[in-house]
Chains A and B, each alone.
Chain A
Amino acid sequence: MTDLLSAVYEIFSSESTYLNGALFAAFLAFAATGEWVAERSGTLNISVEGMLLGGAFAAAMGCHLTGSVAVGLLTAILGGVLIAGVQAEMSHRLAADQFVVGLTLNILVLGLTGFLENEIAPETTLAGRWEIPVLSDIPLLGQALFGQRWPFYILYLLLPLSWWLVYRTRWGLELRSVGENPQSADVSGIDVNKRRRQSIYYAGLTCGLGGAFLIFGHIGRFEDTIVGGRGFIAIAAVIFGGWTLRGTLAGCVIFAGALSFRLSIQGLGYDINSELLQALPFVVTIAGMAIFAHRVRAPAALARPFIRGLR
């Protein structure tokens, strides 16, 4: 037991834990930010997984064709937005069930990227590492937060931007009203389904960036298993965070901590049952929802489609 405790201490005092944790958390945060915006507008967008995978593949393809990371970033955004387009147009223009569309998209993108990866096998490179002077010398956290490859730093722009868009612009106000009370929003002249489509497109953009980050800032090559269900953890982070950006980020950090802890403790040679550790983030999420779902308030119209004249 003391053995284990010292191992845990070792994990918490090693820089690599924080480095890995930051990588995981950043990936989740890219996805969760977009998902948060989408959910504030009343869409429970479950195609995040597909958007991330599509974005990652598009990033790999962009880099494969041009050799440039920047171009890869752009194609990743295109890929994410393309999948978001299918989701948005089908669920909020054609009024098909959003869960059905999202689920199908996840399966379709998984099959498509797996198929194309086998046929093309894109070659990618990692982006360059940027060390922010002074800040990256902070012990423990410095390297994790300020010594990463440059796509990581996009997050530092994306988070304030998302906050500002949702809480400080007219567009954001309309977006939130659409998520709370679409009937009233409709009466006051807001195109409900248009706002919802736009929020899904925004989620596509951030997920595309997240996929690109995964390729250029973390792993370095594409496989169809690289996302591996983490899109769903991002959705859970939004719920865990009670539909606030702060809480969502906290959720990302906690779930990423669970993921990173698993890697570190196995790296030290401790065989704490890997199945249980793998299920840990999901169990934490379910428990968190069970405790907090009553206390936090979801957007009132979350997952309710809006068709004028019906309800």
Chain B
Amino acid sequence: MTAVTAGAAGGSDAQPLRTGRWTRLSEWFALYGMSIFAALVLSAILVEATGGDWRPVVSALFDGSVRRPGRWGETLATAAPLLVVALGTVISSKAGLVNIGQEGQLYVGAAIGTYFGFLIGGPGPINVVLILIIGAAGGGLWAGVAAGLRYWRGVPEVLSTLLLVTVGGQAVAYGLRWEWLLLAPEGRRGNRNQVSEQLAPDNRLPRPDLFGNEFPLTVFIAVVLAVIVAFALSRTVWGFRLRMLGRNPRAAQRSGVSETRYGAMALMLSGAFAGLAGAAMFTGGGFAFGNYQMVPGFSANIGWTGLLVALVAYEKPLAAIPVAVVFAGLRTGSSFVGSTGVEGRITDVISGLLVLALLIPAAVMFLRDRRRARAAATERV
């Protein structure tokens, strides 16, 4: 990697700063192409080294994510919560905060939404909306704990959000032990001992059917939310203040942006998005996510993966849409990989390597731009 940096920087010394637009673009493409290719080759080597064959794995991945009937609907259904989680993450990281507790916020939000959903039990459509809203509020509340600790007690939010993941998971598991909290009554939980009641059919999000592919309404909600977040961050005063806080907290403070207020708001909003994703998984998930029941491990790593989506999309809400679909595809495809004789967890390795690979180009370009700017500065002197 250092060879690439050094070589490229050496070549550009001749004309610092004024590199053409097309050169830059082709550099981007070359860097991205190379690093993605490297990640894929590494994964293929890994499969071959353990006695597998990489071609059927790739084919199974495509089968499971798009090719087989009904599969791309499944992929979109998985992409939706990933996207919603990623959007929340974009908001908090724009404000310069590192929220890495989405997994917990999603789980707690979904559980709180579930609890109130069964408690209120209103007529169908109203109850669905209520569950979604309460779920979002629950996720926001859970992130609010971290926000409170951050701004009143000075606890770094990186750690508090992370530690709250485990606490939240255990809290929900605790709730699933008691009938007055989440556990289904005796006769309605089969022989499982930690499961909530199943959501009544009229309380579920509708699942439209397109060309034999079913997916919940969440997909549309998620895309609309992406557009709204993109607009709010780039075109409103609120978004400007948030970005200012992230880029230069001191300047923000001087111009009257309260760090406590906007920071806490950003963190809670990002938790609320995670909670909304959880509630949407519960009300529209189907078999992939607990089959309309709250179970231990309901969050199924969607929070972690959604966080990765946001990181790969470089804090751009609209870029998160295709990234979410790719990661969802890896996830839905992995269930088909097992049949090729290669362990399905290879997809975890592939997505991890992909994320690392996608981090490299931006970092390299950043360093090169700085090097060019410095070269230009010394030339002027």
Interface residues of A (CB under 8 A from B): 44, 46, 86, 89-90, 93-97, 99-101, 103-105, 107-112, 114-116, 118-120, 229, 232, 235-236, 239, 273, 275-276, 278-279, 282-283, 285-286, 289-291, 293-294, 298, 303, 307, 309
Contacts and interface: CB of A to CB of B under 8 A. Distances in A.
B129 interface: no
Contacts of A110: 348
17 contacts: A44-B156, A44-B158, A94-B367, A96-B362, A100-B311, A103-B304, A105-B356, A111-B349, A112-B352, A114-B345, A114-B348, A232-B163, A275-B170, A286-B167, A289-B153, A289-B155, A309-B370
A232 B162 CA distance: 8
A274 to B, nearest CB: 9
B50 A120 contact: yes
Given A99-B98, A275-B174, A111 B167 contact: no
Nearest to A285: B163
Nearest to B311: A100
B189 interface: no
A86 B357 CA distance: 11
A251 to B, nearest CB: 13
Contacts of B29: none
Contacts of B100: 46, 99, 103
The B interface is mostly helix, strand or loop, or mixed, namely helix
A239 B162 CA distance: 14
Contact of B159 (A95, A108, A236): A236
Interface in B158-187: 158-160, 162-164, 166-167, 170-171, 173-174, 177
Interface residues of B, number: 50
Contact of A119 (B51, B166, B364, B366): B51
A293 B51 contact: no
Interface in B327-353: 343, 345-349, 351-353
Q: Dominant SS at the A interface?
A: helix
B166 A275 contact: no
Contact of A100 (B154, B359, B364): B359
Interface of B: 1-2, 5, 46, 50-51, 98, 100, 149, 153-156, 158-160, 162-164, 166-167, 170-171, 173-174, 177, 304, 307-308, 311, 343, 345-349, 351-353, 355-356, 359-360, 362-364, 366-367, 370, 374
Contact of B170 (A232, A276, A309): A276
Contacts of A108: 348-349, 352-353, 355-356
Contacts of B153: 289-291, 293-294
A101 B167 contact: no
Contacts of B171: 275, 279
Contact of A286 (B149, B174, B360): B149
A229 B164 CA distance: 12
Contact of B174 (A239, A276, A283): A276
A94 B50 contact: no
A309 to B, nearest CB: 7
